[in-house]
Structure 1
Amino acid sequence: MRAYVYQARSLIGSDSSGLSDPFASVIIGDQTESTLVIDETLSPTWDELLLFNDVLIYGTMENIKLDPPTIVIEIFDQDKVGKSEFIGRTIAKPHVKAFEEPYERPHFPPSLEWYEITRGDDRAGELLATFELLEIPLKQDRSILPELPSPRTPCGKTPFETEKETVLPVPAGIRPTLSKYRIEVLFWGLRDLKRIHLLTVDKPRVDIECAGNILYSSVIQNAKRNPNFTNPVKFVDVELPDQDLYRPPLTIRVIDCRSFGRITLVGTHTINSIHKYIYTPICKKDKEAEERKKSLIQLQNVDLVNNCIISEDTVTVENEKENWPLLMREGRSAVSYGSGVKVISKRASKRELNKKRKESTESAFDDDEGSKDWWTKYFASIEAMIEEEKEAKKERQGVLTPSEHKMMNHMLAEMKYIHMNWKLYLNLTISKNGCIRLNSIEEKTGDDSEDESRIVGVFKGAIKVYKWPLPKGIEDHTVMGFDPNFGFFQGVPNNEPIHVLVRVYIVKATDLHPMDLNGKADPYIVLHLGSKRISDKEHYVSKQLNPVFGKCFEIEATFPQDSNLIIQVLDWDLLGSDDMIGETRIDLENRFYSRHRATCGLAKRYEEIGKTFQASNKDVLRCGSTFPHGHAAARAPVDISPRKPKSFEMRVIIWNTDDVVLEDDAFFSGGSRPDDCQTTDIHYRSLTGEGNFNWRFIYPFDYLEAEEKIVISRKESVFSWDESECKIPARLELQVWDMTISQRTTLG
């Protein structure tokens, strides 16, 4: 039998440093063979072929193929003193080859497979290996078997009580193809480190391991004073498989360097797949190939019979007049390509619609110069986006299939106008430039559960993996415009402590959780930043689940010590302590160093999915800005205070009525809101349906012109402590009634 043991990943750390010195022991029947020991790693690469000679198996070849013998693979950690410590085990079945079968694809040589390593019920890692069982007939020797690879130089030490004369590598037909890669890491800082063994973490260091290579960060000399690294950018060159299935994981460890040379493991985090951090550059040849491919696609869409071009964004109309709509749209153009067939462009019509919509929005602003406040622009942008969604929905209904239509509706639901997108990252974004934030440093265990008690800190950084050297003629550049041959993290800003002025704009909250017995809440805002706390309890909003705050708060802070902003929404109670409805946390340091800049204004795009309350899972629309202290950019804050209604008085004159279908006696009633109803006097004994009143109704009310709503402030009951505010549409209702002795009837 031949055992091809290539590597393992995500093993359990057995030493105090959080690492292991693993080796694999393969057992079949009464024979045992072991690999070399790889020092201080959780993802060892053994790359060994273990031979088992004279394996005797009873049974026919058919039965052996149906039920091959079981192979047990055990992983141990070799210690300098004492016995080796057990890490985990897995079982496997070999690929059985009869003597008369050819040794060729697709069955032989076998491909490497991942086997899960377990210790009891816990997961202890994965093993990449494969096994084959080759038949040797009687009176034959091993020369009939496939040729073995040439021995290689050992890259590790042998386990205790074992001797290895030669080390055979995994053959080229089985082992994955390797290429040289560069792993570039931006070590930014560490946050929220918990105590380890009752002592604070004062001098932490981060180690990143991949394929047996370790990249060490600089040591933070005083984590309490400045938790950022002094030398943030480092790299290491490694050999990695080109196939993503065989690539080893990234293991991130945080070590506390204590006095007298002692080191203590703080926590670990494993990135099982590095696929999303792989960068593939675009060369001139690839770009030219893509352009040629596009031109070929365009040539395939040429209709030589009708002498016209048929593309994805055009609609061919054979009889133009028959297909015209009843009302012609302005700006709809038809282009002829030398024949009677017309090609109508959808992009042109859509562009015209967007242009008209934009002009109408701008004209709406110009009509009323006095209403150009922040809220006017906010509501105008909402209306424009709703119209765009309606137009897009109409286009999709006629083009997309039901499954695509459902998918697009789900995507649009995530792009509604409720919440601004504050997903801003440190200098670089994940999707385009490879920046990430690692949200947890897990304690040393084989359990993958996301228990909050196991999280001991946060590592902030970025990872970039790319082939090295980069190909010639590359056209890509870094986000700062530098040549990527000198590193992708060039131009990273200084991460020294900086004093800033933070402005937090709380616009409104939506769908809050009811906290009172009446199904409402009395919410107000509380801010926490570092040791500072700001409470707006005096300005709580009475009996509202969708309150509009319109507040701006200013706080002075120092990054990175005071970078975690906590926004809480509490429910005001007359008696007892106030209840917390929910809270959200924002990393202001990420926002300050974002290449989108830390400014505040009306965004062009709004998103429904964003930061959410942890307690009640409700959303808050908010915005914020950060400025260096004393910088010229710290101009006056934007005024987002809620609009105050203006007092109006509406006067309605009822002169007479005519052609009223009579019942008895008629009189008029009118009202502008449900609780404000006024009536005229009664016109008795009308015979022709004509009634002369000469009556005047007077309705005083508070009115918001921009929203076209009446604001009513009143107590809901006699037991209410304060007044609650509600908004209703501005609508006037006039009714004619017939008055009788017993009852009155509506005439119209």
Structure 2
Amino acid sequence: MIVQVWDYDATTADDLIGETKIDLENRFYSRHRATCGISKAYNEEGYNTWRDREKPKQILEQLCKRNNLSLPEYQDYYVKIGRKRFPFVDEQTEDDREERMALSVLHRWQDFPVCGCVLVPEHVERRPLFNTARPGLEQGKLELWIDMFQFGELPPKPAVDISPPVPEEYEIRVIVWNTEDVPLVDSQFLTGEKCSDIYVKGWILYDEYQKTDVHYNSLNGEGNFNWRFIFRVMYCKGERVMIVRRKTTFFARSETEDKLPCRLHLQVWDSDHFSPDDFLGAVTLDLARMPRGSPNSKTCTLSLLDPTLPTIDMFKVARIKAWWPFECSVNAGRYVQAGKVELEISILPAEEADEEPSGKGRDPPQNLPPPNRPDTSFSWFRNPWKAFRYIVCRYYKWRIIGFFVCVLIILLAACGIYAFPGYLVKRLLGA
């Protein structure tokens, strides 16, 4: 049997990538019984159902007959074939006990003297691909398995559906509530006080990234947002990956399918008006193996991202609210904490999400309340009156008052000096 792998082309002839050749006759007549691999366990139902036409007892009896051995005798704790005993210890129920005992003997058939040999175990082959146009150069590998059965030996079992599981559509809702301890990288124009104009950027696929509004003029690294991100993904629970279908080029006729881990990427930035925004920190959360987070901000540290700690599968938990740390690279391979973020993550099937929709940002339905930001949170360029009221008056109030008092005194003194000569002449003339 020859199995070939081709490259599909829409406008030109398809290209042969490589092929592998399998000697079926050699497998069929092999003494190692290569027609169907021996499974590690015997199950009559479930995803690991015994797929061979012959059960372990039948296989073992055929091996004994082929080698002129006495049929196996099944005792409580061993299987006896002639003078050879194969111990067996199993704490499971009595159902199919003899089948499991026979299977344990098949796995140890090489221990039988003279006629024993290793039987091929159940496995997935990984075969190299070759192309005659490039002799000696491997063109990749092909994973497969082959089962061979004689059609008239036993009634055929129903075919096993090996098609990949159908991915389901999910809606992922991420609410960014607050941030704390975000680095302060800017200085106020008049006061020189350190501050940052904070916003959070998030995506699962970067082409669909979303951003919060800006918390201006944060003086302590705290940001208040109450902002919702919404993402739609196709996710396969069995493989724990999301399915991304897209065209690689504009002229491609069909879509390619990629299997990627479902990861939520979040970044915190400092917004600037006349220069590029400053990157402050980031965190990446694998929703299938997600760190548990911290219930409060005080215990939220980089240790929460340790890969050795227990994780949760958000597609099973469905909802969580906690704090996670941002991190920033300062040297190659060295990270420091760059603030923390309070998130609420919900994952709903698409049908349920359509029945109870939510708006992005703070839009209805299920709109979020506006954040309770301090009075000092404003943009200098968009709110000049607030800048004068909360910055100039706050820090320079007494200086301004003192300046106007001095100006008034100087004006009064100037008026007195200006009027003094005329007043003096009138007194001298007796007017």
Q: TM-score, normalised by structure 2?
A: 0.38
More helix by proportion, 1 or 2? Answer: 2
Q: TM-score, normalised by structure 1?
A: 0.23
Bigger RCO (CA 8 Å, 6+ sep): 2
